[in-house]
Amino acid sequence: MLTLGIETSCDETGVALYDSERGLLAHALYSQVAMHQEYGGVVPELASRDHIRRLVPLVRRVLAEADITMSKLDMIAYTEGPGLAGALLVGASFAVSLAFSLGIPAIGVHHLEGHLLAPLLDENPPAFPFVALLVSGGHTQLMRVNGVGAYDLLGETLDDAAGEAFDKTAQLLGLGYPGGPAVAKCAERGAARFKLPRPMLNSTDLDFSFSGLKTAVLALVRQRELTDRDRADIAWEFQEAATDVLCTKCVAALGATGLNRLVVAGGVGANRRLRQKLDQAVRDRATVHYPRPIFCTDNGAMIALAGALRAGSAERSPTRFVIRPRWDLTSLAPAGI
């Protein structure tokens, strides 16, 4: 079964072709980063308009790359939520209209389910059940993943998401947007000089909190005229603090569930220091699966894959769609039900 995946939940237009037998055939991504950079963050209306501009060329490109004509498509999967309402509307209306015109089913996919299942795109995918750390710009959650759609929430952030803390820190240090890669790059030149808190590091639960860390960065920044050395050292310490907490909670989640497979999903999962610490911390007791960096951040491949795994609930020639800007992952039904 050949599925076209469409991702438009935020500032990346992702399109991919996934074949249930042969795997991923082609994928293409257009990042709006340059356009939003001058505003220091995503401008929702600009994001929606740009998705409109990019979708048709990207769909043409993946079809050409895979040497497949539109008439061969069996299904279209699109991101139904969570995300920016206008951006979601563009992808959903495009996908449903195209599916209707081709007389094929369309299916709305939960964006975070896409992130959770992205490691299944690998050659050696992890078997269920596994523990998943979902760390993106909007979410920080630890899940027990029992199967497609069978997710138990183990812990989550009580305030800011980890990616949000990276983005805010980058803003405070004047490093631009998107913050995660900018902080990581700046930290390469930094060293241990400042001390930032590791919120909830020793709490007995699996929850997180990142707003205090962000405020502590703000306090450091306010105390001085920032030099390049200060920026690098603050970025270094921030990255150490955030990854210490993420890593410690992952180890605790493996202990609490008794599982020995950990999947790291979402944009912050691309962070190299986090990967280094996790690999070291779980070395003897578990294996860690990371999606390829391009499939950690938003992309169409994870949406095509998640749609294909949920093909049973796709509606043939749909004429309606919903979008869900806010959508709880644990409210999903297991696939096939």
Q: The tokens of 182 are what?
A: 């900018």
Distance, CA of 12 to CA of 31 (rounded, Å): 5
Distance, CA of 77 to CA of 114 (rounded, Å): 11
Q: Which is nearer to ligand KG4, 110 or 261 (CB)?
A: 110
Sorted by sequence, the CB contacts under 8 Å of residue 10 that are 6+ apart come out as 42, 47, 83, 84, 87, 137, 298
Question: Which DSSP category does 172 fall into?
Answer: H
Task: Name residue, tokens 């983005």.
Answer: 167
119 touches ligand KG4 by CB under 6 A: no
Q: Which of residues 295-314 bind Zn ion (CB under 5 A)?
A: 298
190 touches ligand KG4 by CB under 6 A: no
136 touches ligand KG4 by CB under 6 A: yes
Sorted by sequence, the CB contacts under 8 Å of residue 156 that are 6+ apart come out as 139, 140, 141, 142, 207, 208
Q: What are phi and psi of 13, to 5 degrees?
A: -95, 115
Q: Which residues of 125-157 are buried (b: 16+ CB within 10 A; e: fewer)?
A: ebeeebbbbbbbbbbbbbbbbeebbbbeebbbb
Q: Which of residues 10-29 bind ligand KG4 (CB under 6 A)?
A: 10
Distance, CA of 11 to CA of 183 (rounded, Å): 19
Q: Which is nearer to ligand KG4, 10 or 107 (CB)?
A: 10
Q: Which is nearer to Zn ion, 257 or 299 (CB)?
A: 299
Site string for Zn ion, 94-133 (x = CB under 5 A): ----------------------------------------
Residue 179 binding target from ligand KG4, Zn ion, none, CB below 5 to 8 Å by type: ligand KG4
Give the shortest CB-299-to-Zn ion separation in angstroms: 9
13 touches Zn ion by CB under 5 A: no
Site string for ligand KG4, 161-180 (x = CB under 6 A): --x--xx----------xxx
Q: Give the range of 45-53, 216-224, 290-298, 305-313 binding Zn ion by CB under 5 A.
A: 290-298
Are 29 and 12 spatial neighbours (Cβ–Cβ below 8 Å)? yes
Give the shortest CB-72-to-ligand KG4 separation in angstroms: 30
Among 137, 149, 190, 199, binds ligand KG4 (CB under 6 A): 137
Please state, as a whole number, how many other Cβ atoms lie within 10 Å of the Cβ of residue 72. 13
Among 184, 220, 281, 282, binds ligand KG4 (CB under 6 A): 184
Give the shortest CB-116-to-ligand KG4 separation in angstroms: 11
136 touches Zn ion by CB under 5 A: yes
Q: Which residues of 249-272 are buried (b: 16+ CB within 10 A; e: fewer)?
A: bbbbbbebbebebbbbbbbbbbbe
Q: Which is nearer to ligand KG4, 154 or 165 (CB)?
A: 165
Q: Side-chain half-sphere of 10: how many Cα atoms within 13 Å?
A: 18
Q: Which is nearer to ligand KG4, 99 or 281 (CB)?
A: 281
Instruction: List residues binding Zn ion (CB under 5 A).
Output: 136, 298
Q: Which residues bind ligand KG4 (CB under 6 A)?
A: 10, 136-138, 163, 166-167, 178-181, 184, 266-268, 270-271, 297-298
